[in-house]
Structure 1
Amino acid sequence: MISIHPLCDIPEIRAGDDLAAVLRDSLAKAGLWPLQTGDVLVVTQKILSKAEGRMVALDSVEPGAQALELAATTRKDPRLVELVLRESSSVVRAVPHVLITRHRLGHVMANGGIDRSNIGPGDEDRALLLPLDPDGSARGLLAALAGPEAAGIGIVVSDSFGRPWRHGVVGVAIGAAGLPALVDRRGEEDRDGRRLEVTQIALADQIATAATLVTGEGAESVPAALLRGVALPEGDAGAGALVRPLEEDLFR
């Protein structure tokens, strides 16, 4: 039986905070420490980015010519657009109120993954960027929380993405450690003995979405959750395995 436990008492995270220590304290207060086999800790991107100092004051950003042009098209703040371009490898779509890019990590997403909601108090206009290396950050958290000999324990760094042809956002994994983010079941047989030819399971995305049932998307102030009782397959492929290579892009 899988259970989902919100971590509700995490304080406002600031640059340089020891996020592993904060999470450990929160888990202990919730009666969930120590971690055990079948636990997956889901940490939202925002608190990870805050701890890693990925906050940018917009007043410090000087928009370039491309940013000014795209800002006129999308009707967005030119400073924000400049940050989006810096974080992205290409622009996928730019229309009024919409700017979709391919992030440097490979994700195709709105505004280069840059967020301005729920980023904490402050007088200046600020924006929060994605972590530089979410998979590496997940590995660091796993080592700090579960130790080098951890087995059957995982970390997922989650974010919220929209999807083509579907309304609404869902949780996705942008970082993972201690579990195979993508489970390849090709070659197995279904219950009728037919060989599976294309089935790959986005396990880390499934876990990230399950956690959003308690972390929420608005003012819930629940930036992490523990899934307990998850039967984790063997493997330790990070969330980078979930990104479809450009050569497999079917829509360009």
Structure 2
Amino acid sequence: MTELRVTAPEGLPEITVDSDLAGLVAAATQLVDGDVVVVTSKVVSKAEGRVRVGDRGDALAEETERVVARRGPTVIVRNRLGLTMAAAGIDASNVEVGSIVLLPLDPDASARALRRRLHELTGATVGVVVTDTAGRAWREGQTDIAIGAAGLTVAEDHAGRVDAYGNDLVVTLPAVADEIAGAADLVRGKLGGRPVAVVQGRADLVLPLSDDGPGARSLTRRDGADLFGYGAREAVVRALAGAEADRVAFGEPAGPGELCEALDRVLGGGATYDDGGISLPADAPESVVAAVCFAHGWRLDGWEPGRSALVAAVSPVTP
């Protein structure tokens, strides 16, 4: 029988910059080797002095790497940690009115420091996960994810294994740090005043004290590697504007066949590629062709109008 046990201690005081977070966790729990301590990013931020007076708009620019999508007042951004979140993860809940809480400067480093201090206080070798709440594309609601981790295998790579039916597993990569974060949130509760949980039953994921592991940052795809670098409206605007700084989010250049197929769909047919040039219908708008090329990682280098078939010189661009 496999069993997972998740507990959340009651009675932790309000955390401030003067709090000894590790000491409070150690006093409220009975940690043993192989436990995973899960703490909310909010209490880590409070302990690290990441609370300030103001509203989200006041800090959004400094926490933002780039805007991903806008819908009215809602702004989804890729923040300085590489996380894609509403309002860069800046929070105004469970804090004094008129104040905001910013995410920790380096959640993986916060997890490492907490892990070392817990070992000093308890003698236990534990894993640590720092969590935050995030939405998911195509799904209603939110769940907690790991934004910081130490001493933990954050993902189990099943590639190369074979399932019970003999099928090869190619891309199976359970993000176990995120699964632990979600399990911990079930017992902590959003309004329960329990910012810490202890997960027992997955000691196999906890690494030796000398190995802090790759951290939660390793679960974040690099910019441009995701298939959805911009929201639908923002992608159209960015492609038409064609700013060089926006290329990265569109990813690696598509193959010439994929580019021609896209031009065919937009122009209604007639696009062919040969030796660095694309033949197009004579009435193809240059601005449209340039935008399609931009979105597919190509640059429009030349344009020869006034012929029965346009010849556009194009070349792939490395973001």
Shift of 1:234: 6.3
For 2:195, the aligned partner's letter is P
Map 1:11-50; keep pairs closer than 5 Å: 11-27=13-29, 33=30, 35-50=31-46
* SS state at 1:183 partner: coil
1:96–1:86 CA distance, 2 compared to 1 (3 A): same
Alpha-carbon distance between aligned partners in 2 of 1:243 and 1:117, rounded to the nearest angstrom = 25
1:116–1:127 Cα contact (<8 Å) kept: yes
Match in the other structure for 2:58: 82
Map 1:54-93; keep pairs closer than 5 Å: 54-58=50-54, 79-93=55-69
* SS state at 1:184 partner: coil
For 1:116, the aligned partner's letter is A
Give per-residue Cα distances to partners, 1:18-71, cap 9 Å, x unaligned: 1111111111xxxxx2x223311100111100000000111xxxxxxxxxxxxx
Q: Which runs of 5+ in 1 are unaligned?
A: 28-32, 59-78
Choose which of 48, 51, 60 in structure 2 pairs with 1:52: 48
Q: Which runs of 5+ in 2 are unaligned?
A: 208-212, 230-319
1:225 equivalent in alignment to 2:227: no
1:115–1:129 Cα contact (<8 Å) kept: yes
Alpha-carbon distance between aligned partners in 2 of 1:42 and 1:187, rounded to the nearest angstrom = 30
Shift of 1:17: 1.7
Shift of 1:232: 2.6
For 1:245, the aligned partner's letter is R
Shift of 1:231: 3.6
Shift of 1:190: 1.1
Shift of 1:144: 0.7
Match in the other structure for 2:165: 192
1:155–1:178 Cα contact (<8 Å) kept: yes
Alpha-carbon distance between aligned partners in 2 of 1:134 and 1:198, rounded to the nearest angstrom = 27
Give per-residue Cα distances to partners, 1:139-188, cap 9 Å, x unaligned: 1111111249x786211001110111100010100000111112222111
Match in the other structure for 1:116: 92
Shift of 1:220: 1.0
* SS state at 1:232 partner: helix
Match in the other structure for 2:181: 208
1:151–1:178 Cα contact (<8 Å) kept: no
Choose which of 161, 170, 174 in structure 1 pairs with 2:143: 170
For 2:34, the aligned partner's letter is G
* SS state at 1:247 partner: coil
Identity value in percent: 42
Shift of 1:193: 2.2
Alpha-carbon distance between aligned partners in 2 of 1:232 and 1:127, rounded to the nearest angstrom = 37
Alpha-carbon distance between aligned partners in 2 of 1:204 and 1:151, rounded to the nearest angstrom = 19
Alpha-carbon distance between aligned partners in 2 of 1:86 and 1:174, rounded to the nearest angstrom = 19
| Greater Rg over alpha carbons, structure | 2
Match in the other structure for 2:246: none
Match in the other structure for 1:65: none
Alpha-carbon distance between aligned partners in 2 of 1:232 and 1:136, rounded to the nearest angstrom = 22
Q: How many residues were matched structurally?
A: 222
1:190–1:152 CA distance, 2 compared to 1 (3 A): farther
Match in the other structure for 2:287: none
For 1:227, the aligned partner's letter is V
Larger RCO: 1 or 2 (CA < 8 Å, sep 6+): 1
* SS state at 1:210 partner: helix
Give per-residue Cα distances to partners, 1:119-143, cap 9 Å, x unaligned: 2x4xx61110000010011011111
